[in-house]
Amino acid sequence: VAAFDSCWTSTIPPTYQTSAKGLLNTTVFLTTTLNICAQEVDLSWSDYIGWTGIDHYEIHGRKLGESWVNFGSTTDGTFTVSVDDASTYCFVIEAICTTGVGAFSNISCIYIAIPGQPLFNYLKLATVNGETIELTHYIDISTNVAELSIQKMDEFGVYNEIALLPVTGQTMYYTDVFVEVHKNSYSYQVQVIDSCFLAGEISNIAKTILLNVQNDDVRKLNYLNWSSYQDFDGSILGYNIYRGINGVFSGSPIDNVPSGQFSYEDDVNSVVSIGKICYYVEAIEATNSFGFAEQSRSNESCIVQEPTIYIPNSFSPDGDERNQVFLPILSDFDPSEYELKIYNRWGQPIYISNDPAIGWNGIVKGTNQMAGTGTYLYSVTLIDGNGVEIFKKGHVNLLK
């Protein structure tokens, strides 16, 4: 501030006479910054300039809708205030001179936001793959999601964290190897960990399918029972049933059943196998609200059909085209290690066949001579669908 008198000079333009200028004075400017994870507001301001001395600064503030309060004082140019989330706060700084005079800063207001939750947090699939379970998760990454807590339900119905995954994309994958897919179905959920590393929203639950198979050896019927899949966003259109012969599955299901059906009877009388027949079922999802249509597989469940073994006690290689060959009648076994042996009365092998379709026609091996009428010892060795060796021996009568 400068004072001007009423006199002026004769110069053009005229100038006025003035006294010395007063001291420069600069106001306080306040800025506020939110520390969202600590739920604190950091205040910083410029110094008041123009006084011979600053005693201290008073920090005034209020929560929107409440009265102004004094949060404290400092001789520094910064101050931190703890606040409640989802509220608006306003602050002002009062500079106090050593003479007791005060000067206020600007008012700075700030909304106390909380870490945003994702628009979607969807566990899209849990499916059995061999001896493991694979999870596929779909997450909104427009918000500050830091990690995903993968959780599995234990035998007491409590979900426990089994993995913590950093979010690297919209679609996340996890494989659980600590499972017994032939004994149990498993339930999973995913919890969001926000940018402040606080637990957030929990996804839907996904529960795998458990398949069990039993069989009737005599009627050659296999009975399938399975648990329902949970919990697709879309409805379940039905369940595909797949059959594998000797460990090999064809590309197409043998049948499809409605979504409310959880059992199936399979007639395998006409099925040719080495005795091992396996199954799995697959839940088929209709297109859901996210535009997905997934399929969840059950475990593979196998049965071993006991081999059928019928061995004649006599044959007559006399050229009349009837009963000319001694040939065991077999089914549901592994022919790769089949062996038929014929022994003479002294226990010496006189015929060997490793082809279950070729029997003994009475010719003694190495001589091309027909064996004489009498009783001979035989042995049959084969492998069932479980890889277990079955050995049969007995006597056969050669008649003429």
Q: What is the pLDDT of residues 207-262, one digit of tens each?
A: 999 999 999 988 889 999 999 999 999 999 999 999 998 878 988 999 999 999 99
Name 63's Cβ contacts closer than 8 Å, sequence gap at least 6.
Answer: 83, 84, 87, 88, 89
Whether a cis peptide bond, with omega within 30° of 0, leads into 312 is no
23 CB-contact burial (10 Å; exposed 0-12 / middle 13-18 / buried 19+): exposed
The residue behind tokens 């084969």 is: 382
Q: How far is CA 291 from CA 81, 229, 230, 389, in A?
A: 46, 19, 18, 52
Overall size of the chain counted in residues? 400
Instruction: Determine the 3-state secondary structure of 71 from DSSP.
Output: strand
Six-digit token pair at 95? Answer: 């500079």
pTM value is 0.71
Name 265's Cβ contacts closer than 8 Å, sequence gap at least 6.
Answer: 221, 222, 223, 224
Measured CA to CA, the distance from residue 212 to residue 303 in angstroms comes to 10
Measured CA to CA, the distance from residue 44 to residue 29 in angstroms comes to 8
- Burial readout 50-81 (b: 16 or more C-beta within 10 A, e: otherwise): ebeebbebbbbbbeeeeeeeebeeeeeeebbe
| Torsion angle of C-alpha atoms 235, 212, 281, 242, degrees rounded to 10 | -160
Measured CA to CA, the distance from residue 222 to residue 271 in angstroms comes to 12
Q: For position 6, what pLDDT does the model report? A: 66
Reference 103, options 174, 162, 55; nearest CA is 55
Number of H helices, E strands in the chain: 0, 36
Q: For position 24, what pLDDT does the model report? A: 83
Measured CA to CA, the distance from residue 155 to residue 370 in angstroms comes to 69
Whether the CB-CB separation of 104 and 85 falls below 8 Å is answered with: no
Six-digit token pair at 109? Answer: 């207001």
Q: How far is CA 285 from CA 148, 189, 306, in A?
A: 25, 19, 37
Structural Rg of the chain based on CA atoms = 44
Regions in the chain scoring below 70 on pLDDT = 1-10, 14-22
Q: For position 9, what pLDDT does the model report? A: 66
Whether the CB-CB separation of 135 and 174 falls below 8 Å is answered with: yes
Instruction: Determine the 3-state secondary structure of 291 from DSSP.
Output: coil
Reference 304, options 352, 371, 361, 244; nearest CA is 244
State the pairing for strand pair 389-398/314-315.
parallel
Q: How far is CA 228 from CA 105, 154, 260, in A?
A: 66, 19, 8
